[in-house]
């Protein structure tokens, strides 16, 4: 193994031992940690929080077992974890951390610094309830409020996607037309602690797909420079535009990277969204995360009954795929948006953005709030969403925002 005195940002010797391709039955947390290992990260900052803790614990085991020579930094808080990877990434090291819920909220102060400095950090977020009241189960009210911090956001359907997206995340984020950090969500316990079959490529295959990180600017004691210093109003608006432009650039890069990944590894994630039975669909449901698999089963069952229903999996929330959604939804008569988060007094964050993207479309766009706080979303719940949309197609819509399976609320 190389010694830890090597200089970051020079694309030197690999930090990890050679790893063969293999099939594993693993949790989503282990998939995230193993993907970071395959991505040959150089620095990991770790602070525990349920249900993310296993990600950094598993990576600590890789370090302890000598599989990687990555620098493993134990910090005193999630705020410190983000501060640490901001420093290491600015020094040219491919960096990684993970968090959840209140931990992500504690990081909030540092998130715009990472994006404003154009540091391509990759961070899995195990989506968990935010207090109060305290809960440890799945909802998206932890990640959704961070949508305007300049970080890319995507949501995973299964553990295979967790592993693949950490690897792709570095290739997307490190592209010189992007250079933005990315957080990828995985549903608490539904993915983080549940085992599924996962195919892991070899370290050589990943190294061929993901070259060493080559930063544009590096903090180097031998060549002193300052970044992120006090800046007057004459310049800040242009810097905000640069981050906005990088987020827009990410759209094409995401397509290119997912296409290359599909060609190399045989798994196609279709860019920002994935369509299912949408060509002739009269009603289409937009989903995120693990509920997508259940929704596919419902689409198949309803299709056998002659009902023209379809599904769109919203993989990326930032950059938001407005153009793709307008194209995919142009012939639908009714659109539904599933949200596992709520913008209080308005509706779900995904629904709000979909409504904005579809401005000018003269058709119902319904919002289904479900699974918040970790409540199970069962097949009957998804069937209810489609039934409500089918009723709306026939002019029988009761309300625009529907709280599914919620005591004291009329559906």
pLDDT of residue 1: 34
Q: Looking at residue 129, which CATH number applies to its domain?
A: 3.40.50.970
CA distance 56 to 62: 10
- Integer Rg of the chain from CA: 21
pLDDT of residue 14: 85
pLDDT of residue 7: 53
pLDDT of residue 5: 44
**Within-domain flag for 9:** no
What tokens were used for 328?
A: 């995919």
pLDDT of residue 227: 86
CA distance 69 to 343: 43
Do 281 and 230 share a structural domain? no
Total-model pTM: 0.95
pLDDT of residue 321: 98
Task: Domain of residue 314: give its range.
Answer: 273-403
Do 177 and 39 share a structural domain? yes
pLDDT of residue 311: 98
pLDDT of residue 157: 98
* Integer CA distances (angstroms), 278 to 254, 282, 327, 329, in order: 22, 8, 11, 8
Q: Looking at residue 387, which CATH number applies to its domain?
A: 3.40.50.920
pLDDT of residue 12: 60
Do 152 and 105 share a structural domain? yes
**Within-domain flag for 3:** no
Q: Are 385 and 285 in contact (CB under 8 A)?
A: yes
**Within-domain flag for 10:** no
pLDDT < 70 stretches in the chain: 1-12
Question: 287: which residues sit within 8 A by CB, 6+ positions away?
Answer: 295, 311, 312, 313, 314, 338
Q: Are 212 and 12 in contact (CB under 8 A)?
A: yes
Q: Are 407 and 372 in contact (CB under 8 A)?
A: no
Do 399 and 288 share a structural domain? yes
Do 149 and 236 share a structural domain? yes
Q: Residue 370: name the closest of 301, 289, 276 by CA.
A: 289
**SS3 (DSSP) at 337:** strand
CA distance 97 to 41: 10
**Within-domain flag for 52:** yes
pLDDT of residue 11: 56
């Amino acid at each position: 193994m190389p010694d830890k005195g090597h200089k970051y940002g020079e694309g030197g010797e690999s930090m990890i031992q050679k790893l063969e391709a293999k099939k594993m039955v693993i949790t989503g947390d282990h998939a995230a940690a193993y993907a970071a290992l395959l991505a040959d990260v150089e620095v990991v900052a770790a602070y525990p929080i349920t249900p993310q803790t296993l990600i950094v614990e598993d990576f600590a085991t890789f370090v302890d077992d000598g599989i990687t020579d990555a620098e493993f930094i134990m910090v005193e808080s999630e705020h410190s974890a983000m501060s640490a990877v901001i420093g290491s990434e600015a020094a040219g090291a491919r960096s990684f951390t993970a968090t959840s819920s209140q931990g992500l909220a504690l990081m909030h102060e540092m998130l715009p610094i990472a994006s404003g400095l154009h540091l391509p950090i990759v961070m899995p977020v195990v989506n968990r309830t935010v207090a109060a009241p305290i809960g440890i189960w799945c909802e998206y009210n932890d990640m959704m409020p961070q949508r305007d911090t300049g970080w890319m956001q995507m949501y995973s359907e299964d553990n295979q996607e967790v592993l693949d997206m950490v690897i792709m995340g570095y290739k997307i984020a490190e592209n010189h037309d992007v250079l933005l950090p990315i957080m990828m969500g995985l549903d608490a316990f539904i993915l983080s602690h549940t085992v599924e079959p996962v195919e892991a490529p070899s370290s050589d295959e990943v190294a061929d797909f993901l070259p060493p990180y080559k930063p544009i600017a590096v903090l180097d004691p031998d060549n002193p420079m300052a970044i992120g210093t006090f800046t007057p109003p004459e310049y800040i608006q242009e810097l905000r535009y640069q981050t906005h432009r990088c987020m827009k650039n990410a759209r094409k890069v995401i397509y290119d990277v997912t296409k290359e990944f599909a060609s190399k590894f045989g798994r196609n994630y279709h860019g920002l969204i994935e369509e299912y039975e949408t060509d002739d669909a009269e009603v289409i449901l937009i989903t995120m995360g693990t509920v997508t698999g259940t929704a596919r089963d419902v689409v198949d069952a309803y299709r056998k009954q002659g009902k023209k229903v379809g599904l769109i999996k919203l993989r990326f929330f930032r950059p938001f795929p407005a153009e793709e959604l307008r194209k995919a939804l142009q012939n639908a008569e009714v659109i539904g948006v599933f949200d596992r988060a709520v913008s209080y007094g308005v509706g779900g964050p995904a629904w709000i953005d979909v409504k904005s993207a579809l401005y000018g479309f003269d058709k119902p766009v319904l919002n289904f709030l479900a699974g918040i706080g970790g409540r199970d979303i069962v097949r009957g719940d998804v069937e209810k969403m489609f039934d409500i949309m089918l009723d709306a197609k026939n002019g029988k819509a009761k309300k625009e925002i529907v709280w599914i399976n919620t005591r004291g609320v009329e559906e």
